[in-house]
């Protein structure tokens, strides 16, 4: 049943109109099976029209990460073995961590809603139902743990470029863990690692993106949604976004494994919002002001502080 839904969705995506009989013939199933699958897809949120003498027609994809479309993407992915889908969950990151010991699989955890979404330093991340993308990626590279710091640099470019490409906006990367639009946060991500004796056992990368306008997120003065930034003329196609996103994750993850940061350094710096302005930086040791000079090969931020000292920062709150 699940495979049939995917195949039908794939046909609907390819053809403007296709009859139920044609679908049944092409997939070698009964018309009743086709009808049942179409009904299930509609219940999942797809707007499928039935036009007399023409057949079925996919009007537009659903306004949330659709499980059928996602499992199609994952089945084509060379990175991930499987997907875990939740209508609601405390946190995709928490789910991912609890599944780690079960196998050595790579997988993605996606939820329509998180009740306890969190960002860095255990800060709350609003995750209202069907208003955003809430996803955790579980990857298992066979590399020394010291290589992980560069991961965020590669992955932040993948996320930022995906949002730009799919929704026609222009994001900026706020080192170390946020994506911004118009000076406000549209996305936060968090890379957690479990390692064993100096070697990575699993990377668990949680990503939250505010996609649609929402009352909860809308009340936060420092937050913005893609929809607000894109304007009402842009059609918010989450299937397209997820396709772009999974593709970019694959590209940038492979680059992370095979290339030094210097190969993406220029792209990253151009996409960054922290250069050329006064920053307020809070580390566990305290707060200071300064200007970003560079990102080192290992992923440390180099800052010229107001006393003229060059400081290397690895994990910090950066305020513009």
d(CA 88, CA 124): 16
CA atoms within 13 A on the CB side of 201: 12
Q: Least distance (Å) from a copy of itself to the CB of residue 300?
A: 8
Q: Which residues of 111-137 are buried (b: 16+ CB within 10 A; e: fewer)?
A: bbbbeebbbbeeeebbbbebbbbbbbb
Q: Is there a binding annotation on residue 255?
A: no
C-beta separation of 139 from 99 below 8 A: no
Spell out where the chain has E strands.
47-51, 55-60, 82-89, 107-114, 132-139, 172-174, 178-181, 184-196, 199-210, 278-283, 286-295, 301-305, 310-313, 317-319
- Closest approach of Cβ 191 to a copy of itself, in Å? 6
CA–CA gap between residue 252 and residue 57 (Å, rounded): 35
Question: Which of 120/184 has CB closer to a copy of itself?
Answer: 120
Question: Cβ closer to a copy of itself: 53 or 197?
Answer: 197
Both tokens of 180, joined, read 């911004």
Q: Which two tokens stand for residue 126?
A: 């609003």
Would you say 34 or 148 has its CB closer to a copy of itself?
Answer: 148
Cβ closer to a copy of itself: 89 or 177?
177
Residue 313 Cβ, how far from a copy of itself at the closest point, in Å?
Answer: 10
CB of 196 to a copy of itself, least distance (A): 5
**Nearest approach, Cβ of 91 to a copy of itself (angstroms)?**
11
| Closest CB to a copy of itself among residues 79, 145 | 145
Residue 280, SS3? strand
Burial of 35 (0-12, 13-18, 19+ CB in 10 A): middle
In whole angstroms, the minimum distance from the beta carbon of 207 to a copy of itself comes to 13
User: CB of residue 28 vs a copy of itself: minimum separation in angstroms?
Assistant: 42
93 is in an annotated binding site: no
Check the annotation: does 120 bind a ligand: yes
Measured from the CB atom, is 186 or 316 closer to a copy of itself?
316
Nearest CA to 179 among 159, 199, 201? Answer: 159
118 labelled binding-site residue:
yes
DSSP line for 144-171: BGGGGGGHHHHHHHHHHHHHHHHH----
Give the residues lining the site for a copy of itself (CB under 8 A): 120, 142, 144-146, 148-149, 152, 176-177, 190-199, 201, 284, 298-300, 314-315
Whether the Cβ atoms of residue 48 and residue 16 lie closer than 8 Å to each other = no
Q: Which is nearer to a copy of itself, 314 or 320 (CB)?
A: 314
| Residue 243 marked as a ligand binder | no
C-beta of 2 vs 315, nearer to a copy of itself = 315
Considering only CA atoms, which of 93, 162, 140, 155 is closest in space to residue 299? 155
Distance CA 206, CA 204 (A): 6
Q: C-beta of 273: minimal distance to a copy of itself in Å?
A: 18
Helix 238-258 with 67-76: angle, nearest 10 deg: 30
Q: Which residues are annotated as a binding site?
A: 114, 118-120, 185
Q: Which residues are annotated as a binding site for biotin?
A: 114, 118-120, 185
């Amino acid at each position: 049943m699940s495979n049939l839904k995917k195949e039908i969705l794939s046909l609907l995506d390819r053809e403007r109109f296709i009859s139920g009989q044609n679908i049944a013939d092409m997939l070698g199933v009964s018309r009743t099976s086709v009808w049942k699958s179409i009904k299930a897809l509609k219940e999942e949120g797809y707007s499928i029209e039935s036009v007399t003498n023409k057949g079925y027609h996919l009007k537009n994809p659903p306004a949330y990460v659709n499980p059928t479309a996602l499992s199609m993407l994952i089945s084509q992915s060379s990175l991930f073995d499987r997907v875990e889908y939740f209508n609601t969950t405390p946190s995709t990151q928490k789910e991912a961590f609890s599944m780690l010991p079960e196998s050595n699989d790579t997988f993605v955890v996606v939820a329509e809603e998180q009740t306890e979404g969190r960002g860095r330093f255990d800060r709350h991340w609003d995750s209202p139902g069907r208003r955003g993308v809430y996803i955790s990626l579980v990857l298992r590279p066979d590399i020394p743990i010291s290589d992980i710091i560069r991961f965020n640099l590669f992955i932040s470019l993948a996320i930022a470029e995906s949002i730009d490409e799919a929704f026609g906006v222009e994001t900026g990367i706020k080192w170390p863990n946020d994506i911004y639009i118009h000076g406000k946060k549209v996305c936060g991500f968090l890379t957690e690692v479990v390692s064993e004796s100096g070697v990575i056992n699993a990377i668990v990368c949680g990503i939250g993106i505010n996609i649609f306008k929402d009352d909860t997120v809308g009340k936060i003065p420092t937050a913005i949604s893609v929809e607000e930034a894109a304007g009402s003329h842009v059609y918010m196609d989450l299937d397209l976004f997820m396709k772009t996103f999974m593709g970019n994750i694959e590209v940038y993850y492979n680059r992370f494994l095979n290339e030094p940061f210097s190969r993406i350094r220029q792209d990253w710096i151009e996409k960054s919002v922290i250069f050329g302005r006064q920053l307020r930086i809070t580390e566990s040791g305290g707060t200071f002001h300064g200007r970003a000079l560079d990102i080192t090969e290992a992923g440390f931020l180099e800052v010229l502080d107001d006393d003229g000292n060059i400081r290397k920062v690895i994990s910090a709150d950066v305020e513009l």
